[in-house]
Structure 1
Amino acid sequence: MSRRAAWIGTGAAVLIAGAALAATGRLPNPFDPPSPDVVDSGSESAREAGEITMPAPASASDPFAPALPIVESGSAEARDLVGEVIEEIHNPFELPPIEVVESGTDEAWIAHGEEITDLNAVKQLAMLRARAEAAFVADSGFPRNPESELGVHRFDLRLRQLIDSAEGLGEITYFVNSADNSMYFPHWGLGSWLPSNQFNQGEFHFLLRQADGDTLVCGKQVDIGPACLQLGEELGAGFAWLRNSALHREFLRSVPRTPQTLGEGPGGAVQGLRGRGETGHLQFWVSRNAHPVATQMPYLGLGVGLMKDYRVRANRLVKRMLAEGADSDGGDLVMDLIELDAARIEADTTPYRFVTAFTARGLEEATALGQQGFDLQAQAIAIRQALDACPKGRPGRECRERERARMKALEDGFRDQALDFGRRHGLPVDD
């Protein structure tokens, strides 16, 4: 028999012997559960063993009555008696707490974008707007100048401006009537543009631009004496549109549809405007604030000054004017306003003799008279030829007298017309 067979046989004998002893009770069964301990119900040992007993009925007559008092869930009694704990449910619509900062501080502006409305500033703005409107609708209280060239012309505003052109760079000082935009340019106010008012044939005193655009150049001429040369609007149409409200409004209306390709501005609190004038594009730099001067003229001044801005209903200073391509060399003509102040001055034209030969009407008459002179010259040549053709000696005497009489009548007629032209237009003539 092998060793393995011997071990198997021995193990089997031990198991059989153990089973026999267990069956007889002499050896305990290792597979039997232990016997439980017996304790009294309701005792401490029973509670330690896990016994749970119902509390005694609250009422002897009602065995089903609860032993504990009934309290409302969530109340203080429920928490105190039975230790009820209710978990708080977060409100999903409740916003997180916001940090409290002092109003008006930088923190308030940064954290919350707070904007403070300054009531004083609002009142100040309303007051300025009311003043601008009052000046815009009001007319000047200063008297208008006479329509006649002869008389005393008065002015209530003084303007100083700088002119930059191909002809030079220099300041001028002149005066304006706020009621009709008539202007007075004394010789002493033209600065470098007129270093001296003395000329070979006389002296220059002043230039007067009337409200209707007529221009008077007054001074003293050696042959005429004190005289005013009336030029009409011979200074050109570059600024004629300024006195015309319709053209001024059209310029303002043209601004939105005109490319705002502006040149260099004068600096300061100004706004640039570019629009279409009567003869080309104009650029204006106007003050952002309204000016208190009252006038119903659409424009005061020569190029710069004061304009009525019908878009915002305010009178605004024109600090710079640029007329594109309007200079004598084809470049830009630039004017800058230096000063606009109240000032009183007057110009009296009554001592002067008026010369109107150079107005548009006078020049037209002079041109017609000159053309007539050419025609008379042709007639004179024909008369002289007829005179030369007269027979010599006594036979041609009557012919010569006739042709000479024709020549004299022709010359006298032309002389009378020239003298009449001179008298009507203020020129010195010998009667």
Structure 2
Amino acid sequence: MSAVAAGGINLLRSRLLVALVFSLSLASYVYRGPYLALRSDSGDFATVYGAARAWTRGLNPYDHAELNRQLAEAGGPAALKITPLHRPSVYFLPAMPVAAIIASLPWRSARVLWCVLSAIIMAGGVLYVVLRNLPLTHSGKWLCASVILVLATPGIAGLRFANPGMLVIGLTAFAIQLALENRWNWSGLLLGAALCLKPQIAICGLAALALWRKSKPVVIGASLFALSGFIAAAQARSTGTLLVWIRTQQANILQSLAPGAVNDPSPAHPESWQLLNLQVIVSLFVHSRRIADLVVWAFAVLAIATFFVIRKNTAAPSFWRDLAFICAIDALVAYHRNYDAELFVALIPFVFELWREHRRELALLIATPLALLLSSYETLLSKLMNSPDSNPGLAYLLLARLPAFAVVTLTVLTIVAELTARRKLGNHRDSPIDVTEFVR
């Protein structure tokens, strides 16, 4: 057999193996994601679903009793209840017209459509970003995609609850990549939809694109957000009704942050370890909510000022480095649960960028907290923290907050990456990395 024929056979075997690995990974994702999501109560979706249905009828989208009535009338399960402490209605008004598109359907149909769309768009968005930007061979990119599908633990958790954040992560990822490809209109529309549903996630894409002067998608996205908010407000029968809605939402937000409530970052909430923001660490030592918030914001302002002072003097700015810092800062200060960490998949190109710049020690350092955020660590924590025999002390509580420590570490390391950026990278680029060498 000639060397050319042997090489062709080896290439075919390699591609068949890659196809098999990807197919198995995709099957695993479908089972753990949308399939199991459809067998759960989809509680997080129920909140925005009930709120949107109430809004379309001119009713208060933040009145939990009204939301439960809407859910029951739409055929929702009797056991599923929207409550102030566990499933508060806190979505901003611009979310209502967007969610109403699906909320116009009966519960069962809307739930299936929501779960399937969320799974497709989340996976599609993050894979689109990664596959378009990794310096890998064709087979290497698909192997990397397989790993992402298997290790998409935060996103899988969010899909099981049918949390809108998973849809928003996918929309934001698509918007970022489309903007990088100068497809402004689609980028702006997707970014606007993401901003309407969960601005605390989509703000990462908006800020990164604004920083890189991608003005058209930023303007389109912000305009769509404003237009959706205007439409939502116009649905109120009067200014007084609108003010009641706003006050009710504010009361719901405050109630969700009360000691022991679902969004409380302090140890009084037994599941506060699920949060990513720095407050979950500071609250272990500072018992005043206001002082804890001040400490977090002081750290964030210092980090932002440091990063941008350094960036101003860097001759080789990097979009992925900027996006990594913005995502880390956003997770640091804003309310985020563990499943929102799926957005950090979009930072994988940043790690590869550092590797190609021969800053490999820093690439490995950044990959470590990134891997923790994207791993099954949260699942292990859930079993440990919910064990009836557990009596967590301070050391145990600190260990449980490793994801929040990972976010802090990413914040610091992105500043270090900016500080040590080469003044001029030149034209040298390594050949694409062939990760299939490891499986031949």
Give TM-score scaled by structure 2 length. Answer: 0.22
Q: Which has the higher helix share?
A: 2
Query: Looking at CA atoms only, which structure, 1 or 2, has the larger radius of gyration?
Result: 1
Higher relative CO (Cα under 8 Å, sequence separation at least 6) belongs to: 2
TM-score for both structures, normalised by structure 1: 0.22
Structure with more of its chain in strand, by fraction? 1
